[in-house]
Chain A
Amino acid sequence: MDNLIALLVAAPLLGAAVLLCGGRRLDKTGHWLGTLLAGLSFVIGAVLFADMVGKGAEDRALHQRLFSWVPVEGFQADIAFQLDQLSMTFVLLITGVGTLIHVYSIGYMEHDERRRRFFGYLNLFLAAMLLLVLADNYLLLYFGWEGVGLASYLLIGFWQHKPSAATAAKKAFLVNRVGDMGLSIAIMLMFTTFGTFAFGPVLSSTGESSEGMMTAIGLMLLLAACGKSAQVPLQSWLGDAMEGPTPVSALIHAATMVTAGVYLIVRSADIFNAAPDAQLAVTVVGAVTLLFGAIVGCAKDDIKKALAGSTMSQIGYMILAAGLGPIGYAFAIMHLVTHGFFKAGLFLGAGSVMHGMNDEVDMRKYGGLRKYMPVTFVTFGLGYLAIIGFPGLSGFFSKDKIIEAAFAKGGTEGWILGGVALLGAAITAYYMTRVMLLTFFGEKRWQPAPDPDKAPGVEPGIEVHPGEMPHPHESPRSMTIPMILLAVGSVGAGAFFGIGDRFVKWLEPVTKFEHGHPPIGAAAITSATVAVMVIGVTVAYLQYGRRPVPVVAPRGSLLTRAARRDLLQDDFNHIVLVRGGEHLTRSLVYVDHTLVDGVVNGTAASVGGLSGRLRKLQNGYARSYAVSMFGGTAVLIAATLLMRAV
């Protein structure tokens, strides 16, 4: 069984290699090959899962060591895999959702001439993501970590001829690199502290080092998690990343890659357990992002960007839970999995809507679509109910547990975190209801398709005839079937995991678990959660369901305007980092040219000047040369005589 682990990674990697190097010959069949290999990976995962379930809880973890990666004196990094319950959960999520999205993409990318390459990139992503969650040491995790960053870069910028897509891709990679800096510093700290960075040795000896060191490592890991999971202050790339094709947004920027930060923190649980300050920082980041993403999500008119804000916010919940320690780890992962289902489903639904609406993304130009796209409407609606935490659906189970755990943190912190989480739930209900109402209800606000030359924001996957009114239609079956399956997951996963604490028990050997004791009863918290959800839905209904919606967004309040611009974070980045950086580099170029080079050129010029003057001695008159000869001889003789006299 151990030997199967490498195959999990190898299958999609093979697909990526074949599809990317294969050339045009594979244009016809490439997407099938890619989907097949993703499916193969899922089957292997399922086999391993079945095997794991059959074993006792404590000896479920598998190891496979392939070879030594960087064998250098005192520095051992192996290509070695570890499959425990936590990794298993991720493997199933990644390969399962991944395969569904491969299937969906077959239909979605049908008209794109570079579909083969798209599937190559998707397979590359799967391989890197699996490497990330299967690694048994931090350096290999870093390999996967950057690998998914690369895949994300390639896929966001898939329509490279759109300058906005190319810029968004670059931005995502750069912001992620800032986070990666944190991860590499964390690895270096581990190396100097423990002499190794394999999970086993590091995590089992956290107690032997100082708390200060653990806090430092924890904070650096948090920085890494912020970059990858789009948490404040490194969240700015996620909204722009929606430039990528919609299946990419669903797979990478909703279900899997962006949750890697949560994985990192939960995987490093022992480090955080030994560093309460770092844990506090994690909860603060989670709580701030939770609100930040939710507020941004309320103001966006672009359906994908509204969902991106929501993703940010939901990952905020997970990070918050992960910062709570053993009372929250399992719930963080549980919410991660349920979120994987419903958010992927929502994105695929959004893609389906765009598919039918000439790639229009502005929700103000939708409306009344429920009659035209029934399957999309139902699946999207179920995802919607799941995310707002409608009782019985999966989001209800996972989010409620997180809110409970936040209150259970105790003291003032507990009240603040719990309050924020509740407030977030209300806002979630509000913005998701808004999305729902704007898209599927109300009157038709459809607009003719823009000229693609004038509006470069149009996804070029689908042929668009300028000036044509959209005639929405249901998407092909390759797209609806994945949506239906994900909707089933959104409905049932929460109950399946939550009832009888099945999920918690599954993860307990890895993450440990403590029951939290909230200051108020669990039933009270649950009722409060449902209550705020109802409030959020009602407010949204009053605002968007009862009144006609203007096609052009009104100016809005100061907060709305700020939220539309991602709460001015981008403006800050632009002014401070981009402009400042430009000035810095430009002045450095000037300095290099004038000062550093100038010193050398100046030396050369002064030597030149001196020799110019010396040159005048060479006047060409033989007699003056003779004089200097005689003079020189005389001086030499005099010097010799003098030396002798002395």
Chain B
Amino acid sequence: MSQVVNAGFPILTATAAVPAIGAILTAAVPAARRTAAKWLALLVSLVTLALAAIVLVGFEPGGDRYQFVESHSWIKDFGVRYELGVDGIGVALIALTALLIPFVVLAGWHDADPLETKSSRWRPTQGFFALILAVEAMVILSFEATDVFLFYILFEAMLIPMYFLIGGFGDRAHAGSDENAAAQRSYAAVKFLLYNLVGGLIMLAAVIGLYVVAGNFSLTEIAEARASGQLEMATNTERLLFLGFFFAFAVKAPLWPLHTWLPNAMGEATAPVAVLITAVVDKVGTFAMLRFCLGLFPEASKWATPVIITLALISIVYGALLAVGQRDIKRLIAYASISHFGFIIMGIFAMTSQGQSGATLYMVNHGISTAALMLVAGFLISRRGSRLIADYGGVQKVAPVLAGTFLIGGLATLSLPGLAPFVSEFLVLVGTFARYPVAGIIATTGIVLAALYTLVLYQRTMTGPVKEEVRAMPDLRVRELAVVAPLIALLIFLGVFPKPLTDIVNPAVTHTMSDVQQKDPAPEVEAAK
């Protein structure tokens, strides 16, 4: 346990409790004090960030696998415990979540303001920020939970605030009429909910099955019992349980062909909520693959690997191709994310140190890069009131800073070296290639396609003659710059010096590799050092 944190202080609970309490307080702010609610939400998210920073600093990479452990009995009869602990991967993702929420809050500052026709008794502003904080609390707690049942509850519960965020606060830049917009929005929200509920339901069956087989819900105990041979699972049982868990995570991640909810949800939600979906909530899916699928069912994971790698490859190429074919900026980014999630999943299941480190870094880097790109896209869309690429042109002439930041976000998306995603993408490619050369080579086509959809997007929106409708477009405001600049700085920093992150992640990856009892393929020739 670290010196920074007083032993005994439940720091992990605190990181989740602060936003949870903040959510309640924000919701309780009187209707007329809208601005106060915004500042409160920002303050709470910053306090959470500070707590997450303490966890990050206090975490000892060389120490125990799970640190800051908290354990209390919860439902005695079923052996359910309130059990928290973080490994390097969890710490990295908690840091990512806590980092992004202040930007999401700041970027969404006006997204839930009342329309002029509404009265002063308008409350959704408070609701919007309260829901964002609620999502944050649940996501953070789900990264910390080492009890399968506790994780399951959070995994499902975070759907509720997300549902209201998507369905209740849509993108105001909508091509159709208001009713049409509302219909599309509720379609997207219901689709999101149903997909994830079905996944969750199947996972519930697997959770119960796991309890029947193992007799408790503790991740650490089960993994230990499995490793020491005390807990034998029949091959088929293990495979079925694995599939139950994996299906839920693959919906959330999302993996082809379970991806179709994401473009709808991201397209209809406001840009900050879209960031919340893809950069934060979806990461729970990939995180859980690493922690639960590989940790609890190593043999079944290896059994399923060929199929999963294939699906991930399809995701990479298919997502990128569909991104090329999109006409809507936000849907384009959504399909790009599907492609990137393919990389993450491929890295996880390549079962090499490089692949898994790369996948973990990818989760963090993708979060930052998508947030940068999506938030700038949101600023752009809010100016012109349209999501269609064809409605823009020549923006760089009137708003050079906006165009520049958009380009940097795009370059991060296409994994330009020097920006953070490159490091992770290359690690994933190398890690996959070492074990599955063909998959590695096919996946590299993803880097060409990524360049295609990003640059086409940039070209069509930002370059060329200035369109009449964008002529009066203002450049980024101070608040917007405050959102984008730190993200870009972080992208550059982590692209050149990712060591702080890899130091935290590496030991966790070593543990996972020993969970699945895999060694990296040795090089053919031992090169002269």
Residues of chain A touching chain B, judged by Cβ–Cβ distance below 8 Å, are 20, 67-75, 79, 139, 142-143, 145-147, 150, 153, 157, 160-163, 165-167, 169-170, 173-174, 177-178, 180-181, 184-185, 187-189, 191-196, 200-202, 204-205, 208-209, 213, 581, 584-586, 588-589, 592, 596-597, 599-600, 604
Contacts and interface: CB of A to CB of B under 8 A. Distances in A.
B321 A588 contact: yes
B497 interface: yes
B520 A73 contact: yes
Contacts of B525: 193-195, 205, 208-209
A160 B445 contact: no
B337 to A, nearest CB: 14
Interface stretch (B32-40, B235-243, B289-297, B426-434): B426-434
A181 to B, nearest CB: 5
A146 B412 CA distance: 12
Interface in B412-429: 416-418, 422-423, 426-427, 429
Contact of A73 (B318, B322, B498, B506): B506
Interface stretch (B5-13, B19-27, B217-225, B450-458): B450-458
Which one of B404, B464, B503, B521 has the highest number of Cβ atoms from chain A below 10 Å of its Cβ?
B464
Contacts of A202: 527
B72 interface: no
Interface string B330-344: 000000000000000
B397 interface: yes
Contacts of B423: 69-70
B427 A70 contact: yes
A146 B427 CA distance: 17
Interface string B386-400: 000000001011000
A174 B454 CA distance: 10
Contacts of B426: 70, 139, 184
Contacts of A157: 463
Nearest to B423: A70
Contacts of A584: 321
B324 A581 contact: yes
Given A170-B456, A181-B447, A192 B433 contact: yes
Contacts of A146: 416-418, 422
Contacts of A145: 417
Contacts of A178: 448
B447 A184 contact: yes
Chain B interface extent, by class: 35 or more
B325 A586 contact: yes
Given A71-B503, A192-B523, A596-B257, 16 more contacts: A69-B496, A71-B502, A72-B353, A160-B394, A163-B463, A163-B464, A166-B463, A167-B459, A185-B444, A191-B434, A194-B524, A195-B527, A196-B527, A201-B528, A596-B256, A596-B260
A567 B490 CA distance: 46
A599 B258 CA distance: 11
B496 to A, nearest CB: 7
Chain A's interface: helix, strand, loop or mixed, by majority? helix
Nearest to B404: A20
A192 B444 contact: no
A631 B394 CA distance: 74
A600 B427 contact: no
17 contacts: A69-B497, A71-B503, A75-B357, A75-B427, A147-B417, A153-B455, A173-B455, A181-B448, A184-B447, A192-B523, A192-B524, A194-B527, A195-B522, A195-B523, A196-B523, A205-B527, A588-B325
Given A185-B441, A185-B444, A209-B524, A142 B417 contact: yes
B322 A592 contact: yes
Contact of B411 (A150, A188, A192, A596): A150
B447 A161 contact: no
B199 interface: no
Contacts of A195: 522-523, 525-527
B498 A70 contact: yes
B521 to A, nearest CB: 7
B505 to A, nearest CB: 8
Contacts of B474: none
A173 B458 CA distance: 13
A166 B459 contact: yes
Which one of A75, A162, A170 has the highest number of Cβ atoms from chain B below 10 Å of its Cβ?
A75
Contact of A588 (B322, B354, B523): B322
A170 B321 contact: no
A170 B459 contact: yes
Nearest to B190: A604
B465 interface: yes
B486 interface: no
Contacts of A196: 523, 527, 529
A74 to B, nearest CB: 5
A180 B499 CA distance: 25
B22 to A, nearest CB: 34
A68 B499 CA distance: 7
Given A70-B427, A194-B527, A585 B447 contact: no
Interface of B: 194-195, 256-257, 259-260, 318, 321-322, 324-326, 353-354, 357-358, 394, 396-397, 404, 411, 416-418, 422-423, 426-427, 429-430, 433-434, 437, 440-441, 444-445, 447-448, 451-452, 455-456, 459, 462-466, 496-499, 502-503, 506, 509-510, 520-529
A193 to B, nearest CB: 5
Contacts of A162: 464
Contacts of A170: 455-456, 459
Given A75-B427, A585-B321, A180 B524 contact: no
Contacts of A205: 525, 527-528
A67 B499 contact: yes
Given A194-B527, A195-B522, A589-B325, A604 B194 contact: yes
Contacts of A68: 499
A161 B465 contact: yes
Contacts of B459: 166-167, 169-170
A589 B322 contact: yes
A147 B430 CA distance: 21
B232 to A, nearest CB: 30
Contacts of A166: 459, 463-464
A157 B462 CA distance: 11
Contact of B357 (A73, A193, A585): A73
Contacts of A147: 417-418
Contacts of B445: 181
B427 A72 contact: yes
Given A163-B465, A192-B523, A596-B260, A184 B318 contact: no
A597 B322 contact: no
B523 A150 contact: no
A195 to B, nearest CB: 3
B42 to A, nearest CB: 26
Contacts of A163: 463-465
A586 B324 CA distance: 9
B33 to A, nearest CB: 37
A174 B195 CA distance: 36
Given A188-B433, A585-B322, A160 B464 contact: yes
Which one of B326, B430, B521 has the highest number of Cβ atoms from chain A below 10 Å of its Cβ?
B430
Nearest to B354: A75
A179 to B, nearest CB: 10
Contacts of A173: 451, 455
A191 B527 CA distance: 10
B451 A188 contact: no
Which one of B394, B426, B525 has the highest number of Cβ atoms from chain A below 10 Å of its Cβ?
B525
List the 7 shortest-distance A-B pairs measured between CB atoms, nearest first.
A195-B523, A585-B325, A166-B463, A73-B353, A201-B527, A194-B527, A143-B417
